[in-house]
């Protein structure tokens, strides 16, 4: 199965000049823990709830701090035609929970979280179990 089938397509994005307060409110409004940071169509980073806790609250910075000052810039990406297995391997290898999905021109097309992948794996397992039950001989 391709990662494009389970990713969140066309995610909300932040600008490097947005404030932490604006992005924290947006995270709350859309119930997410991460928002890609994009400028002029180029991925610049990702701002996560963890970035806000550690680099803003933990360092007692103002919530008017610009996203560019606290975002994670070492962003992992994968192509939208990657398999779920490829993405799981990349997440394990890099010890990350989110990956940005890009097209062949490196344009952001989606985001996928460890939770998205786990949910799909769980649904597949449930489907396999149901199929096994359905194929089992009747107990008379």
| 124-134 tens-digit pLDDT | 655 555 555 45
Write the Ramachandran bin of 31: left for phi over 0, alpha for psi from -120 to 50, otherwise beta: left
The pair of three-digit structure tokens given for residue 22, joined into one six-digit string = 């604006």
Q: What is the pTM assigned to this prediction? A: 0.84
Kindly report, residue by residue over 105-126, the tens digit of the pLDDT: 999 999 999 888 888 766 665 5
**Alpha-carbon distances of 6 from 1, 84, 121, 126, 128, rounded to whole Å:** 9, 9, 10, 16, 18
Give pLDDT, residue 123.
66
pLDDT tens digits, the chain, 140 residues: what are they?
889 989 999 999 999 999 999 999 999 999 999 999 999 999 999 999 999 999 999 999 999 999 999 999 999 999 999 998 899 889 989 999 999 999 999 999 999 998 888 887 666 655 555 555 456 565 54
- What homologous superfamily does CATH list for 3-135? CBS-domain (3.10.580.10)
Angle subtended by helix axes 114-135 and 84-94, to nearest 10: 140
Give pLDDT, residue 63.
98
Give pLDDT, residue 116.
86
Give pLDDT, residue 25.
98
Give pLDDT, residue 73.
97
How many C-beta neighbours within 10 Å does residue 101 have?
A: 25
Q: Which of 28, 23, 36 is nearest to 99 (CA)?
A: 36
Give pLDDT, residue 133.
44
**Alpha-carbon distances of 16 from 37, 98, 109, 139, rounded to whole Å:** 6, 19, 19, 63
Burial label for 20, CB within 10 Å (0-12, 13-18, 19+), is buried
Alpha-carbon gap, residue 94 to 60, rounded angstroms? 29
């Amino acid at each position: 199965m391709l990662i494009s089938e389970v990713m969140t397509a066309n995610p909300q994005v932040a600008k490097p000049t947005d404030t932490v307060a604006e992005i924290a409110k947006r995270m709350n409004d859309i119930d997410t823990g991460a928002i890609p940071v994009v400028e002029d169509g180029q991925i610049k980073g990702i701002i996560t709830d963890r970035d806000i806790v550690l680099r803003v609250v933990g360092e007692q910075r103002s919530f008017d701090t610009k996203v560019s000052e606290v975002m994670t810039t070492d962003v992992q990406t994968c192509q939208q035609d990657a398999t779920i297995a490829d993405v799981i391997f990349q997440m394990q290898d890099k010890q990350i929970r989110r990956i940005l999905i890009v097209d062949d021109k490196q344009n952001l097309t989606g985001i996928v979280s460890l939770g998205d992948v786990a949910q799909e794996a769980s649904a597949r397992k449930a489907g396999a179990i149901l199929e096994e039950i359905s194929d089992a001989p009747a107990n008379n």
